[in-house]
Amino acid sequence: MTNEAIMRLEVVIIVNAIIKGMAMLKIPTTCSNIGPVNFIDEAIPRLGHLPEGVSVVYDVKSHVHALQFLPETEEIKFPATSIFKSCQYFPEEFSVFFILKHGNTYLKKECVFSVSTVHRTYVSVCLTSKKIIFTYNNKKSKFRNSILTDNKWHTVGFSVTGSHVTMTTDCLNRRKHKLRRNFPSFLEIQNSVIQIAKCESCNSAFQGLLKDVIFVPGADVARRTCPPKTPRNAYMDNRIPTDPDSHISSYSSVGPDWAGCKWMDVGNLAFDVYSRSIKVCVNGIWKHVTTDMPVEKPSYRQLDYLEVYQDVITPSASIDVELFHMPGEGLFAVFANSNPVANRARGVSGLYKWTEKSFRLYQRLPSISAQCWCHFTIGENFYLAVANYGNDTSKLTNSTIFKWHRHRRKFREFQTVGTYTARDMEYFTIEDEHYLAVANHAIGPNQEVDSVILKWDRKTRRFVIFQTITTTGAYDWTYFRVQDYHFLAIAQAFNGRTTLMESLIYVFQNDKFLPFQTIETNGATDWEFFTMEDEAYLAVANAYNYGPQNFQNQDTYQTNSSIYKLDIGKRAFFKYQTFITNSAIDWEHFMLGNDHYLVVSNAQNGGSEQERLTTIYRLQGVDKFVPVHHMYLEPSADWEVFEDDNDVYFVYSNAKDRKSQILKAKFKYI
Q: Return residues touching ligand NAG (CB under 6 A).
A: 343, 345, 391-392, 396, 398, 416, 545, 558-560
Other residues' Cβ atoms within 10 Å of the Cβ of residue 625: 21
We find the least distance from the C-beta atom of residue 560 to ligand NAG, in angstroms, to be 4
Non-local CB neighbours of 527 within 8 Å, separated by 6+ positions: 476, 478, 489, 491, 503, 538, 539, 540, 541
Please name the helix (run of DSSP H) or strand (run of DSSP E) that holds residue 332, with its range, or none.
strand 330-337
In the complex, the smallest distance separating the C-beta of residue 368 from ligand NAG, rounded to whole angstroms, is 6
- C-beta of 190 vs 416, nearer to ligand NAG: 416
* Residue 474 CB, nearest approach to ligand NAG (Å): 20
Exposure letters 359-369 (e unless 16+ CB within 10 A, then b):
beebbebebbb
Nearer to ligand NAG, 210 or 491 (CB): 491
Which C-beta is closer to ligand NAG: that of 345 or that of 622?
345
Alpha carbons within 13 angstroms on the beta-carbon side of residue 670 total 7
Backbone angles phi, psi at 8, to 5 degrees: -60, -45
Q: How far is the CB of 379 from ligand NAG (least distance, A)?
A: 23
Phi, psi angle pair for 214, to nearest 5°: -100, 130
Shortest Cβ distance from residue 485 to ligand NAG (Å)? 31
Question: What stretches of 353-485 show up as alpha helix (H) in DSSP?
Answer: none
Task: Specify whether the CB–CB gap between 225 and 280 falls below 8 A.
Answer: yes
Shortest Å, Cβ 523 to ligand NAG = 10
Of 416 and 620, nearer to ligand NAG (C-beta) is: 416
Q: How far is the CB of 578 from ligand NAG (least distance, A)?
A: 6
Q: Please tell me the distance from the alpha carbon of residue 250 to that of residue 161, in angstroms, as a whole number.
A: 40
Residues linked to residue 168 through DSSP beta bridges, in sequence order: 157, 174
Measured CA to CA, the distance from residue 193 to residue 216 in angstroms comes to 17
Output 88 or 560, the one with its CB closest to ligand NAG: 560
Can you tell me whether residue 223 is helix, strand or coil?
helix
- Give the residue with the Cβ less far from ligand NAG, 30 or 339: 339
Find the shortest distance in angstroms from Cβ 39 to ligand NAG: 50
In the complex, minimum distance from the CB of residue 392 to ligand NAG, in angstroms, rounded to a whole number: 6
252: three-class secondary structure by DSSP: helix
In whole angstroms, how close is the CB of 9 to ligand NAG at the nearest point? 16
Nearer to ligand NAG by Cβ, of 161 and 560: the residue is 560
Strand partners, 70: none
Cβ distance to ligand NAG smaller for residue 61 or 405? 405
From the CB of 3, what's the least distance to ligand NAG, in Å? 19
CA dist 529 and 514 (Å) reads 19
- Rounded-to-integer distance, Cα 275 and Cα 266, Å: 21
Please give the DSSP secondary-structure letter assigned to residue 235.
G
Min CB(313)–ligand NAG separation in Å: 24
Which residue number, 392 or 567, has a Cβ lying nearer to ligand NAG? 392
Q: How far is CA 623 from the centre of its chain?
A: 29
Q: Backbone dihedral region of 607: left (phi > 0), alpha (psi from -120 to 50 degrees) or beta?
A: left
Minimum distance from residue 550 beta carbon to ligand NAG (Å): 7
Q: Which helix (H) or strand (E) holds 8?
A: helix 3-15
Closest CB to ligand NAG among residues 308, 580 = 580
Going by C-alpha positions, the residue among 31, 430, 404 that lies closest to residue 218 is: 31
Task: Look up residue 340 and give its amino acid.
Answer: P
Closer by beta carbon to ligand NAG, 440 or else 545: 545
Q: Look at residues 168, 170, 169 and name the one whose alpha carbon lies nearest to residue 262.
A: 170
CB of 583 to ligand NAG, least distance (A): 13
* Residue with smaller CB distance to ligand NAG, 90 or 463: 463
Nearest Cα to Cα of residue 88 among 388, 483, 460, 379 = 379
Q: Which residue, 218 or 347, has its beta carbon nearer to ligand NAG?
A: 347
Cα separation, 406 vs 381, in Å, equals: 9
Task: Report the helix count and the strand count for the chain, using DSSP H and E.
Answer: 3, 46
Dist CA 190 CA 447 (whole Å): 41
Nearer to ligand NAG, 104 or 398 (CB): 398
Q: What angle do CA 52, 55, 59 make, to 5 degrees?
A: 165
CB of 14 to ligand NAG, least distance (A): 14
Q: Which residues contact 418 (CB under 8 A, 6 or more apart)?
A: 396, 397, 398, 399
Residue closer to ligand NAG by CB (options 471, 559) is 559
**Element containing residue 369 per DSSP (H, E):** none
Instruction: Give Cβ neighbours of residue 86 (< 8 Å, ≥ 6 apart).
Output: none
Q: Are the beta carbons of 149 and 102 closer than 8 angstroms?
A: yes
